Structure 1
Amino acid sequence: MANLYIDNVHKSFGETHILKGIDMDIADGEFIILVGPSGCGKSTLMNCIAGLEQVTTGRVIIDDEDVTQSMPKDRDIAMVFQSYALYPNMNVWKNIAFGLEIRKLPKEEIEETVGRVADLLQIRDLLKRKPSQLSGGQRQRVAMGRALARDPKIFLFDEPLSNLDAKLRVEMRTEIKKLHQRLGTTIVYVTHDQIEAMTLANRIAVMKEGHIQQFGTPQEVYDNPANQFVAGFMGSPSMNFIRCQVVDHQGDATIAMSVDGKDFHLPIPQQEKGVRERVGQEVVLGIRPEQITDVVPQQEQASTLANVDAEIIVTEPTGADTLTLIRMNDQEVNCRVHPARAGAPGDTMTFMINMDKAVFFDLASGDRI
């Protein structure tokens, strides 16, 4: 296990500037996830950590040792790829043992290590099979086993579950989390799947165009996004963004809203002092679908709640919830309601809006107010 420090790392390919000053301080045993859209620099940063790409400027420090110029083999890092990268002519046992044999470890130690890893990943009964005889999930376990056998300081996972079907992806996600809890090894994990990020990470780095937009715990990133990009990227379905105006209503700053031709006012949470100072200005209200739901009578007296009647445009049953689309300020808004209380398209339904966790963004910059 090891800590990892990425110090002002830049990476360019010719005139194309991919990484633009990345700073990360990763503690020993942390599970860090890099998320962001395609082309944001996630995999390039991973390759720079592994030594597969040389940084243009900046430093990569592992366990207080500067490894910026070190070869990949000297960094004591194991990488698990999206494509599994197994040797097709070798059985599972040989695939796991290959790296140990290259290092000329004693045969007894190799046998013990392969057995331990096979038991850990529950693949002992697969050791004699070739990769072509395995399912996608089994191949991914073997790829992880090969990395685990090396007992490296740091594991790097580059979108390891993207080739699996939805059910298997959920199962493997759980296995990776259990594995980390057992081993306590430092892991840096790249994904474009924000559900993976939320469920696996100790901390998440949200990237865009070579910059880290926010680096924090899953709950911090979800509840307190630094800007509109982070708020929209994390969460499924994503946060609603409603352009609206801050007005003075009966001596208090509120949000003016219109639904189906009827005007009403939404309370501004007391902690949002910066928004309260913008009376007469337009802002962007960010509110997640689970904050606009069917009426819960026992909560109706809370000061941050408001009820509104709205016509349902579309419903999407998901089992546990029904996603319901309405219009607010002439913009489509997703709501999450209980299936037993969900209306049908064309029906008018009363929705309860909870502003307690609402966030606000500057209209021009998209930054959090």
Structure 2
Amino acid sequence: MAALEIDNVRKVFGSKTEVLKGINISIENGEFLILVGPSGCGKSTLMNSIAGLEDITDGRILIGGKDVSGSSPKDRDIAMVFQSYALYPSMNVRDNIAFGLEMRKVPKEDRLKEVDRVAKMLQIEHLLDRKPSQLSGGQRQRVAMGRALARKPKIYLFDEPLSNLDAKLRVEMRTEIKKLHQNLGTTIVYVTHDQIEAMTLADRIAVMKDGIVQQFGTPQEIYDEPANIFVAGFMGSPAMNFIPAPIQKEQDQLVAKVTTADGRTYSLPLGQRGAALKDYEGRQVILGVRPERISEVNITEVEREDVVVVRAKTEIVEPTGPDTLIHIDLNGVEVGCRVAPDSAVKAGEEMDFMVDLSKAVFFDSETEARI
């Protein structure tokens, strides 16, 4: 395994289409990096550049401190797991896993030992004599992972490996990949558009949009302290609420004002955030609050200074099992709230909601950057 450094990498297709716009990312040995973002953000191009499948226009890519920017894929000592599995249909599972080792002239006895080791690790020993056409999607993905694991490269690259699987199998395979990383301590770069995969698997996440890394940090940093509205809205399910809110002064304290659909107005205290928002007095900002921070009233919490109880009419009620999502109207926008199922009321009824501002974030209405 090895550290990875991406130093000011640019990629231009043709003369004008700039797909990667000065990417800077650095991870240590054994870290799990996830590149996440919507389609067309440049994450797969960056992955292919790390693998050597795309030439970069400018910058450097270093693996284990060695500049591999001009090296061919075979000289980078990486292994890649593709979205499409890329298994050889005429070979059985055993031969598919061993193929890379055979190309590297590994002796047959050592190849067989390595195949047995990987098959045991992935629990596919009973599939070794089957052809890919006889396997389910999840089994094929395990074989593709096995072929990569048998290589023992410096870095593993996963290109949306779970996107072809059904929801239940995706969760199971996600757990297997997490377990694999914990057991092996390997350096992994993983591309996905699924923010749940990003949050659950990563040591560090690079959130990309339009060829630019919008934020690079740990999953918790990105969830709690998003750099801008794009990151805040992309990471988290359900998405963060964005409420346009005027900042006003009341009794020498700055507050954010919110009004329900039936005209009830509430003052949300800014507390220590007031200092950062002093230049916004008399202006409108975007208040960002996660749905789990707007919940049923908890009598042990309501006395806190950063908690306000808001009474509002429920517009939509969505039971999910462990939680119920309720939609209300604040300042003319739809706001999602997450409550316990036994606390939920029916659509059209009023309910008291506890708004916890301890994790609230504020964004500039024009730049959309976090204040």
**Cross-structure match for 1:297:** 299
Structure 2: which amino acid aligns with 1:286?
A: G
**Cross-structure match for 2:334:** 332
Q: Deviations over 1:33-91 (max 9, x none)?
A: 00001000000000000000000011111111111000000000000000000001110
Give the secondary-structure state (helix, strand or coil) at the position aligned to 1:117: helix
Give the secondary-structure state (helix, strand or coil) at the position aligned to 1:46: helix
Counterparts of 1:105 and 1:234, CA distance in 2: 44
Give the secondary-structure state (helix, strand or coil) at the position aligned to 1:142: helix
**Cross-structure match for 2:199:** 198
Counterparts of 2:176 and 2:26, CA distance in 1: 26
Structure 2: which amino acid aligns with 1:285?
A: L
| Pairs within 5 Å for 1:175-254 | 175-254=176-255
Counterparts of 1:175 and 1:291, CA distance in 2: 31
Counterparts of 2:169 and 2:74, CA distance in 1: 32
Select between 260-269 and 201-210 the one with higher mean Cα deviation.
260-269
**Cross-structure match for 2:29:** 28
The answer to whether the 8 A contact 1:269-1:356 is kept is no
Counterparts of 2:110 and 2:299, CA distance in 1: 64
**Cross-structure match for 1:7:** 7
Q: Which runs of 4+ in 1 moved over 2 A?
A: none
Counterparts of 2:189 and 2:274, CA distance in 1: 34
Structure 2: which amino acid aligns with 1:11?
A: K
- TM-superposed CA distance for 1:279, in Å, is 1.2
- TM-superposed CA distance for 1:215, in Å, is 0.4
- TM-superposed CA distance for 1:194, in Å, is 0.3
**Cross-structure match for 2:56:** 55
Give the secondary-structure state (helix, strand or coil) at the position aligned to 1:298: coil
Normalised by the size of structure 1, how large is the TM-score?
A: 0.99
Q: Deviations over 1:225-272 (max 9, x none)?
A: 011110000000100000010001122110111112111101113145
Counterparts of 1:206 and 1:101, CA distance in 2: 38
Counterparts of 1:85 and 1:290, CA distance in 2: 41
Structure 1: which amino acid aligns with 2:169?
A: L
The answer to whether the 8 A contact 2:253-2:274 is kept is no
Structure 2: which amino acid aligns with 1:294?
A: E
The answer to whether the 8 A contact 1:269-1:355 is kept is no
Give the secondary-structure state (helix, strand or coil) at the position aligned to 1:105: coil
Structure 1: which amino acid aligns with 2:77?
A: D
The answer to whether the 8 A contact 1:268-1:276 is kept is no
Give the secondary-structure state (helix, strand or coil) at the position aligned to 1:349: strand
Matched, 1:86 2:117: no
Distance verdict in 2 for CA 1:250–1:272, change over 3 Å: closer
Give the secondary-structure state (helix, strand or coil) at the position aligned to 1:280: coil
The answer to whether the 8 A contact 2:254-2:274 is kept is no
Structure 2: which amino acid aligns with 1:234?
A: M
Q: Which residue among 354, 359, 362 is the counterpart of 2:361?
A: 359
CA RMSD of aligned residues (A): 0.7
Q: Percent identity?
A: 64
| Pairs within 5 Å for 1:29-178 | 29-178=30-179
Counterparts of 1:47 and 1:255, CA distance in 2: 46
- TM-superposed CA distance for 1:273, in Å, is 2.1
Matched, 1:318 2:314: no
Q: Deviations over 1:102-161 (max 9, x none)?
A: 111111100110000000101011000000111111000000000000100000000000
Normalised by the size of structure 2, how large is the TM-score?
A: 0.98
Structure 1: which amino acid aligns with 2:299?
A: P
Structure 2: which amino acid aligns with 1:275?
A: L
List alignment gaps of at least 5 residues for structure 2.
none
| Pairs within 5 Å for 1:241-280 | 241-259=242-260, 260-280=262-282
Counterparts of 1:240 and 1:271, CA distance in 2: 18
Give the secondary-structure state (helix, strand or coil) at the position aligned to 2:220: helix
Counterparts of 1:251 and 1:4, CA distance in 2: 50
Structure 2: which amino acid aligns with 1:206?
A: V
